[in-house]
A = this chain, B = another copy of it.
Amino acid sequence: MESFSNNQLLQEIKSCEELLTDRIADNMETFGVSSTVGRLLGIIYMNREAMTLDSLAEETGMSKTRMSQVMRQMISFNIAEKEYVKGSRKDHYNVERDYAQTFISLFTSNWSEVVKRNTSLERRLREQIRHLETFLTEDSSEEVKVRMERLQQELDEWNAYYNWINNLVAFFESGEIFNHVPIVTPTKKEEAKNEE
């Protein structure tokens, strides 16, 4: 029967870890962020302790500048943060280790942005409509009246939608989602099993 040396085993383990990292990256991509974001998240996650731009650059084979750009992006998404390491003057970056939390952070940063942009639009649009309405007379064509009415309706619908999104964000961010869609950890699964 064949046998693996320690080094071979380590090699094999590493390749498994890389598969997992790829999956993490793939998952990130679904949020519409660059695959490198996911890659770094995976690498730091698997590394289990904060990493510097240089070590990331080495690990990925990419430039340090790019590492800097990506880490900044991750920080803006609230899925990474700088960690102070005494004795070193390099920045050390660590990532959120809770996958679901990462999901929520990305979800909320993306959609809050959308809601924000909508809110400012809505104000402008409502004003514009009010302004146009003052020009409506009995002479105005039927089409104008209908289109005006419809526009108002559309705006109402759209408003209802992004209010919903806004509530959705809160529902996730507050953690209430977990009351209805709980995370079942392997440990809990074991316990449940043992109770039988």
Contact = CB atoms under 8 A, between A and B. Distances in A.
Interface stretch (A17-25, A53-61, A65-73, A81-89): A17-25
B181 A6 contact: no
Given A32-B32, A111-B30, A181 B160 contact: no
A95 to B, nearest CB: 13
A30 B114 contact: yes
Nearest to A176: B180
A interface secondary structure, majority? helix
Instruction: Say how many copies of this protein the assembly contains.
Output: 2
A144 interface: yes
Contacts of A4: 132, 135
A138 interface: no
Contacts of A125: 16, 19-20
B157 A181 contact: no
29 contacts: A6-B144, A9-B132, A9-B136, A9-B144, A9-B148, A10-B147, A13-B151, A16-B128, A16-B151, A17-B154, A19-B121, A19-B124, A19-B125, A20-B151, A20-B158, A30-B114, A46-B154, A48-B150, A99-B157, A99-B161, A103-B165, A156-B185, A156-B186, A160-B184, A160-B186, A164-B182, A164-B183, A168-B177, A171-B180
Interface of A: 3-4, 6, 9-10, 12-13, 16-17, 19-20, 23-24, 26-27, 29-32, 46, 48, 99-100, 103, 110-111, 113-114, 117-118, 121, 124-125, 128-129, 132, 135-136, 140-141, 143-144, 147-148, 150-151, 154-165, 167-168, 171, 176-177, 180-186
